[in-house]
Structure 1
Amino acid sequence: MFGQILLLSLSIGYIQLATSKPSVDQWIAALEQSNSTLLQYPTQLTQNIVPKAIHSHNDYWRDVPLLSALSFGVASVEADVWLLNGTLFVGHEEAALTPHRTFDSLYIQPLLHVLNAQNPKNEFTVNQTTPNGVFDTSSSTSLHLLVDIKTNGTEALPFILKALQPLRSAGYLTTSTSGNVTKSAVTVIGTGNSPLDGVKALEPRDYFFDGPLISLNDTSTNTTWDASLAPIASTDYGVAVGWAGITGISDAQRSTILTLVNDAHTRGIQARFWDTPGWPVGARDAVWRELLDDGADWLNADDLEAAAKF
């Protein structure tokens, strides 16, 4: 029966080929050239892309922000956001800003397009209760979207929360309610000038905080650090560790990494070290390997292709 359906769905040329008993390669070629619906499915936008625990540092620098990262399987991206005259612009500094490169145009709208493609509404999905994420090969993987606020965080936060509304309305945002986290397709994490008190006050919360990896035990902030507030905690690698990856790492430096990572993990928080060495390549790779061996959860990368192949 399947064979009959298959033949009926293809072109006359393929039917003739099938009758002549083609090789497997010829059969595959004929199917691909036929544009058969047997080879198409709704969520294939990110087909064959395997997600990886890589953070796209300054993601907006890519030729195509967000989408380039997704093409490498990068599961965390970062946008520097500036609130100017009521609009959220994206760029490293004021001189890099343009009217068209906004938080909405570079991140919110592309994410909506990708996620809507990954969540078709049809007779097969009527009973689906949990949205698919951006990766077709791992629909439960939540994309981290780090929002690095460059202007006044208290002023910018309401505008960012409003900008997230399309994702929120579609049910695509990870949410914390009374300390209980419901994971979804995108986990938004504030960093930079994101106001800790403002984020703590959100209930329910779908804008989280990038915790201070080197000071999770500091009681002066009057903050209980856990995954309902800070899914990740980060620190400047050079300040916290300082090993350049050229000579051997010292016992003290390795102990620092292990202590910071383990402290985060006991709280259910993932650990990230930013500003790791990028050159020379051998040193970069040595640092990446050490961090992974010591349990760090994310590789902070500028060269996404190199990180994806690592």
Structure 2
Amino acid sequence: MKAVFSLLLAPILLAPQLAVGNPTVDQQIAFLHASNSSLLRYPTQFTQNIVPKSIHSHNDYWRNTPLLEALSLGVGSVEADVWLLNGTLFVGHELAALTPNRTLDLLYLQPLLAVLNSVNPKDEFTVNQTTPNGPFDTASSTPLQLLIDVKTDGVEALPFILHAFQPLREAGYLTTFANGTLTPSAVTVVGTGNSPLEQVKALEPRDYFFDAPLTQLTDPSLNTTWDPTLSPLASTDYEPAVGWSGIGEISEAQRANITRFVGDAHARGIKARFWDTPGWPIRAREAVWTELLSDGADWLNADDLQAAASF
């Protein structure tokens, strides 16, 4: 410990401008910053001091740099609305919002690969590390959840989507179910929207999962065993499932709906999400968020990430 402290103080004790008197801690900090000391840098500090939060970034494509803005706020789940057009996966809510450059690859996959490579250095310290770090420095075992909301035909789009994830797959960054074993990794990809259930069920190995219908987990007509190896997430539209606007008191029947659907998911080891929750008035939005969290919902669905992160 004494040797480490001496190492920290050595540069500042040698600095001419601080030679008179004993240096203060503030002076030491200032000197280290001014000298761009290597002591201030470490490989996983891209998200330094950012605490991951159980927030799902709904309508993520609205933001200029959706993935990076979400990470900067500790948002643990992001969503890309994907359109397969002429062999390219574009991102946007509707056709009029698409541009040639805003693709799944450029907005999400390339930045994500760069972030994960930066926090997973290959050196003498990590030679025996078997599980990749996720993007958050303060919780490296926490994966990022990436929802792919398929807007075009899901059967047609799925092979293109799976191919797009090949660089992340080759790097070992995708949570995977294979040979009866679920292996968590840095990113868990979940298909929603028009993602084709039967084709996802048939994947072996599977590193593209399915967003289960939260209100139908007990429905035998779907002929599906819902569990985390297929669906780590189950979601539903808040309004038809619950109906409370956030103004006035929630009824016992409305609260019972929330707890029943959440309970159905948790009994299967699946996390629950309600999307399209009220966004305004602010007091109504926050009342709904409070109720959902109190009733066990796992993801806080939000359009306003700043508000959700400070909630």
- Give the secondary structure class of the aligned counterpart of 1:305: helix
Deviations 1:39-79 (A, max 9, x none): 11111111111000000001111121100000000000000
Correspondence list, 1:109-148, <5 A: 109-148=110-149
Shift of 1:4: 3.9
Distance 2:289 2:129 in 1: 38
Shift of 1:12: 4.8
Q: TM-score, normalised to structure 2's length?
A: 0.96
- Give the secondary structure class of the aligned counterpart of 2:247: coil
Aligned to 1:225: 226
- Give the secondary structure class of the aligned counterpart of 1:42: coil
- Give the secondary structure class of the aligned counterpart of 1:49: coil
- Post-superposition, which runs of at least 4 consecutive aligned residues in structure 1 deviate over 4 A? 7-12
Shift of 1:9: 5.3
Distance 1:230 1:268 in 2: 9
CA contact (8 A) 2:192 2:211 kept: yes
Shift of 1:30: 1.7
Shift of 1:217: 0.8
Matched, 1:269 2:273: no
Q: 1:9 to 1:115 in 2, by over 3 A?
A: farther
Distance 2:255 2:26 in 1: 52
Amino acid at match of 1:251: E
CA contact (8 A) 2:153 2:194 kept: yes
| Aligned residues with identical type, % of pairs | 71
CA contact (8 A) 2:276 2:301 kept: yes
Aligned to 1:2: 4
Deviations 1:240-291 (A, max 9, x none): 0000000100000000000000110000000000000000000000000000
Q: 1:116 to 1:241 in 2, by over 3 A?
A: same
CA contact (8 A) 2:245 2:284 kept: yes
Deviations 1:186-245 (A, max 9, x none): 000000000000000001100000000000111112100000000000000001000000
Identify unmatched segments of 5+ residues in structure 1: none
Aligned to 1:87: 88
- Give the secondary structure class of the aligned counterpart of 2:66: coil
CA contact (8 A) 1:245 1:287 kept: yes
Amino acid at match of 1:115: L
Aligned to 2:49: 48
Distance 2:165 2:11 in 1: 42
CA contact (8 A) 1:9 1:36 kept: no
Distance 2:263 2:159 in 1: 34
Aligned to 2:208: 207
Correspondence list, 1:1-310, <5 A: 1-8=3-10, 12-13=14-15, 16-17=17-18, 20-310=21-311
Distance 1:83 1:39 in 2: 44
Shift of 1:149: 0.3
- Give the secondary structure class of the aligned counterpart of 2:112: helix
CA contact (8 A) 1:10 1:36 kept: no
Shift of 1:34: 1.6
- Give the secondary structure class of the aligned counterpart of 1:151: coil
Distance 2:137 2:227 in 1: 29
Distance 1:162 1:207 in 2: 11
Shift of 1:6: 2.8
CA contact (8 A) 2:12 2:28 kept: no
Distance 2:44 2:236 in 1: 36
| Higher mean displacement: 206-215 or 217-226 | 217-226
Distance 2:20 2:61 in 1: 53
Shift of 1:8: 4.8
Distance 2:199 2:57 in 1: 26
CA contact (8 A) 1:231 1:268 kept: yes
Distance 1:34 1:20 in 2: 20
Give the root-mean-square deviation of aligned CA atoms.
1.4
Amino acid at match of 1:216: L
Amino acid at match of 1:135: F
Distance 2:13 2:243 in 1: 63
Deviations 1:151-206 (A, max 9, x none): 00000000000000000000000001144211000000000000000000001100
Count the aligned residue pairs: 309
